[in-house]
Amino acid sequence: MPEAPESVYASVVARNPGEPEFHQAVREVLESIGPALARHPEYAKARIIERICEPERQIIFRVPWEDDHGRVRVNRGFRVEFNSALGPFKGGLRFHPSVYLGIVKFLGFEQIFKNALTGLPIGGGKGGADFDPKGRSDREVMRFCQSFMTELYRHIGEQTDVPAGDIGVGSREIGYLFGQYKRITNRYESGVLTGKGLSYGGAQVRTEATGYGAVFFAEEMLKQTGDSLDGKRVVVSGSGNVATYAIEKVHQLGGTVVACSDSDGYVLDEKGIDLELLRELKELRRARLDDYVRHVPHAVAVSGRTVWEVPCDLAIPCATQNEIGGAEAASLVAGGCVAVVEGANMPTTPEAVRILGRAGVRFAPGKAANAGGVAVSALEMQQNASRDSWTFVQSEQRLRETMRDIHARCWATAEEYGLPGDYVAGANINGFRRVAEAMLAHGLV
């Protein structure tokens, strides 16, 4: 790492102790932007790196609510408004017991560059709470969301900060949050939240966007070497929203997803994952994945082991951060994997990225490959502002074009800086450069 970014990283660690996910995200960016800093000394003079690594605003608040037994519960809510150089803060809300300030800052920092790569006028932010909606009734989730929005509403707006969903925050939660915002403010601002239901201002393809987008990016990567998804053997981690739509799009484009996973293990179906059955198990019955084999006798359920031990041509991690470590990367290499495309946020450790790189496995970082979700969110904002509604076909076409453009930006930037095929460097330099130029134009703010 060049000297200046190294000193910035040391300062970030010192100022943000006990936040390893945030440290990892910052280091990954700083390690690859050296060529841009060498070409643009004005960035160092204006202390752009230091300013990007420090959020514009960090909000932490109490969220009291009452469960169905009349007991008062208290959770902690967060919103980190990281950078608004390109537009209003934009990024999801995550409801999960693992959420703490470091996770939110890591996600918000990644969001800056992801949003910049889309080419759309949106800044970066993230939020959430250490609340677990699993096992809670609809009314408990509603009461929590109403309490959460009772504080959050004063910090967001169509021109200020536009949250969306993430892990634990789906259409149900967005509906409750929007209803409370409308009640408190006495305003119907469709664009204040994205991921809304289609009946009140949501966008077609928003639910599918992250999974579809990752596969569209993979398609572009393969095209670059004269290849395609047709006939490819694919492994996907996770079995939630991103994973299921990634599986759907892989199958539509001629590939076969032979394995997917949940927190207990994975299921292997050599004939291809039965998507309708998977959805029934996970979305309707909320069952464990090992129930799959009761309906598909030729499938195999494997407990307590990693899905990355399954040989494949293409791997799409869609579960959570740091799920692919050194051992898993070595397994992928041994199994013949030619490309890893991140559907989740930072699911691959730095050690794993190095192992994949040394083996010649193409690697697409999440800030580029999973930008489809926020891209369609921005298109939802655009439709809300114009009081318009696009068809599914229109929306999917815009998503595909956006992912094609993101791939082209990453590829061209890597080439420009003498790092051909390095998608990590291409994504980080392109996103950083766009944000840096806007920050220079705005002066010291």
Mean pLDDT of 396-405: 97
As for how many domains the chain has, the answer is 2
> Does 45 show up as a binding residue in the annotation?
no
70 is a domain residue: yes
313 is a domain residue: yes
Beta carbons within 10 angstroms of residue 302's beta carbon: 18
Is the model's pLDDT at 130 over the cut of 70? Answer: yes
Residue type, 104: V
Query: What is the per-residue pLDDT across 9-52, written as a single tens digit (0 to 9) for each?
Result: 999 999 999 999 999 999 999 999 999 999 999 999 999 999 99
Mean pLDDT of 235-254: 96
> Does 377 show up as a binding residue in the annotation?
yes
User: Do 285 and 230 sit in the same domain of this protein?
Assistant: yes
Beta carbons within 10 angstroms of residue 273's beta carbon: 27
Query: What is the per-residue pLDDT across 200-228, written as a single tens digit (0 to 9) for each?
Result: 999 999 999 999 999 999 999 999 999 99
Angle of CA points 248, 254, 296, to nearest 5°: 55
> Does 196 show up as a binding residue in the annotation?
no
User: Do 251 and 308 sit in the same domain of this protein?
Assistant: yes
Mean pLDDT, the chain, rounded, equals 96
Q: What is the CATH number of the domain that holds 337?
A: 3.40.50.720
100 is a domain residue: yes
List Cα–Cα distances, 327 to 97, 119, 149, 309, 323, in angstroms.
Answer: 27, 36, 42, 9, 10
User: Do 252 and 352 sit in the same domain of this protein?
Assistant: yes
Give the single-character DSSP code of 319: S
Mean pLDDT of 131-149: 97
pTM for this prediction: 0.93
How far apart, in whole angstroms, are the C-alpha atoms of residue 14 and residue 189?
40
User: Do 308 and 214 sit in the same domain of this protein?
Assistant: yes
Query: Could you tell me if 292 and 269 are in contact, meaning their C-beta atoms sit under 8 angstroms apart?
Result: yes
Question: Which residues belong to the active site?
Answer: 126
411 is a domain residue: no
Exposed, middle or buried: residue 188 (CB in 10 Å: 0-12, 13-18, 19+)? exposed
User: Do 234 and 132 sit in the same domain of this protein?
Assistant: no
Query: What is the per-residue pLDDT across 409-432, written as a single tens digit (0 to 9) for each?
Result: 999 999 999 999 999 999 999 999
> Does 210 show up as a binding residue in the annotation?
yes
Q: What stretches of 180-288 adopt beta strand conformation (E)?
A: 233-236, 256-262, 265-268
List all residues 6 or more positions away from 121 whose beta carbon is below 8 Å from its beta carbon. 86, 87, 378
- Structural domain including 147 reads 56-185
34 is a domain residue: no
Smallest Cα–Cα separation from 78: which of 18, 128, 21, 16?
A: 128
Beta carbons within 10 angstroms of residue 337's beta carbon: 24
438 is a domain residue: no
> Does 171 show up as a binding residue in the annotation?
no
User: Do 60 and 144 sit in the same domain of this protein?
Assistant: yes
How far apart, in whole angstroms, are the C-alpha atoms of residue 120 and residue 165?
19
User: Do 219 and 125 sit in the same domain of this protein?
Assistant: no
Mean pLDDT of 275-294: 90
Give the single-character DSSP code of 155: G
User: Do 356 and 212 sit in the same domain of this protein?
Assistant: yes
198 is a domain residue: no
Query: What is the per-residue pLDDT across 312-336, written as a single tens digit (0 to 9) for each?
Result: 999 999 998 899 999 999 999 999 9
- Among 312, 342, 360, the domain-final residue is 360
Query: Could you tell me if 106 and 80 are in contact, meaning their C-beta atoms sit under 8 angstroms apart?
Result: no
Composition of the chain by helix, strand, coil, percent to 5: 50, 15, 35
- Among 338, 360, 382, the domain-final residue is 360
pLDDT at 5: 82
Residue length, the chain?
Answer: 445
Q: What is the CATH number of the domain that holds 179?
A: 3.40.50.10860
User: Do 321 and 244 sit in the same domain of this protein?
Assistant: yes
Give the pairing type, strands 233-236 and 256-262: parallel
DSSP 32-85: T-HHHHHH-HHHHHTTHHHHHHS-SEEEEEEEEEE-TTS-EEEEEEEEEEEE-S
User: Do 218 and 353 sit in the same domain of this protein?
Assistant: yes
Query: Could you tell me if 61 and 151 are in contact, meaning their C-beta atoms sit under 8 angstroms apart?
Result: yes
